[in-house]
């Protein structure tokens, strides 16, 4: 098992890519502190992790509440007995409900606060811990939209994640901490308005289908494990060939 005995803090763990990462990491021997806003969905994932024989500690938390970063990190470390890996997966593509104007100020605040601000402050808190112990991994979930210029809040937020990931990696590399990113494209998740039982086909993609959450999780496992021990500041695109 590639993560045997590792302690992981994973945000956005209640569904989609986060759920897939939690279950794969548990299969590989990790114990996890799991965060999300939906307590019921989060507890379901925690139970699924425990069913695999690993520890799971659910933390109901909105990453926009950056004032609680140190508290949440301390709680995760206490529950797991340490911290080796932080996966910043929490993210959104639009305001909840019916908001037809993606350029309105509310959309900017909502997307940037979750996708970039929350990630930044959690990285800063985690970096202090990992630098001190001179080991650890941070994995940031960006988007293929963040790999190209975009005149919208979502693309800008994910562009920021890509750039920050590279900058933080250079800062932490001398301290034995690896930082890398993943840029998914269209993935078969609720966030993409895909629901179980629906077709995964997407003729507009070169691969002809959406990516699976498990396919994103496998890249996260690569970054979390010693397999990527010489990789710093990279963002791997997983998008079914999407341009």
Rounded to whole angstroms, what are the CA distances from 233 to 146, 158, 222? Answer: 15, 15, 14
> With contact defined as beta carbons under 8 Å apart, do 141 and 224 qualify?
no
Position of tokens 């496998």?
218
- Whether 154 is a known active-site residue: answer yes
59: Cα separation from own chain's centroid: 15
Give the count of beta carbons closer than 10 Å to the beta carbon of residue 144: 21
What is the C-alpha separation between 164 and 153, in angstroms, rounded?
A: 16
| Catalytic entry in 110, 120, 154, 164 | 154
Rounded to whole angstroms, what are the CA distances from 181 to 64, 113, 189, 209, 235? Answer: 20, 19, 19, 23, 4
Both structure tokens of 62: 């909105």
What is the C-alpha separation between 79 and 55, in angstroms, rounded?
A: 9
What is the C-alpha separation between 208 and 203, in angstroms, rounded?
A: 5
Position of tokens 């999300």?
36
Give the count of beta carbons closer than 10 Å to the beta carbon of residue 243: 9
> With contact defined as beta carbons under 8 Å apart, do 140 and 91 qualify?
no
Q: Which active-site residues does the annotation give?
A: 154
């Amino acid at each position: 098992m590639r993560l045997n005995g590792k302690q992981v803090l994973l945000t956005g763990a209640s569904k989609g890519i986060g759920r897939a990462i939690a279950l794969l990491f548990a299969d590989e021997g990790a114990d996890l502190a799991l965060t999300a806003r939906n307590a019921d969905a989060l507890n379901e994932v925690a139970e699924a992790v425990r069913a695999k024989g690993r520890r799971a500690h659910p933390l109901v938390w909105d990453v926009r509440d950056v004032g609680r970063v140190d508290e949440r990190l301390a709680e995760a470390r206490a529950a797991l007995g340490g911290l080796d890996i932080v996966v910043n997966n929490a993210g959104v593509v639009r305001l909840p409900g019916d908001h037809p104007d993606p350029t309105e100020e509310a959309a900017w605040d909502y997307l940037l606060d979750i996708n970039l601000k929350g990630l930044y402050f959690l990285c800063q808190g985690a970096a202090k811990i990992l630098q001190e112990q001179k080991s650890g991994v941070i994995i940031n979930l960006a988007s293929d939209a963040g790999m190209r210029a975009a005149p919208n809040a979502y693309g800008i937020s994910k562009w920021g994640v890509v750039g920050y990931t590279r900058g933080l990696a250079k800062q932490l590399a001398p301290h034995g901490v690896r930082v890398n990113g993943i840029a998914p494209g269209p993935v078969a998740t609720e966030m993409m308005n895909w629901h179980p039982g629906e077709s995964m086909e997407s003729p507009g993609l070169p691969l002809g289908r959406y990516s699976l959450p498990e396919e994103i999780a496998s890249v996260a496992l690569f970054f979390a494990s010693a397999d990527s021990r010489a990789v710093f500041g990279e963002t791997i695109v997983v998008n079914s060939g999407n341009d």
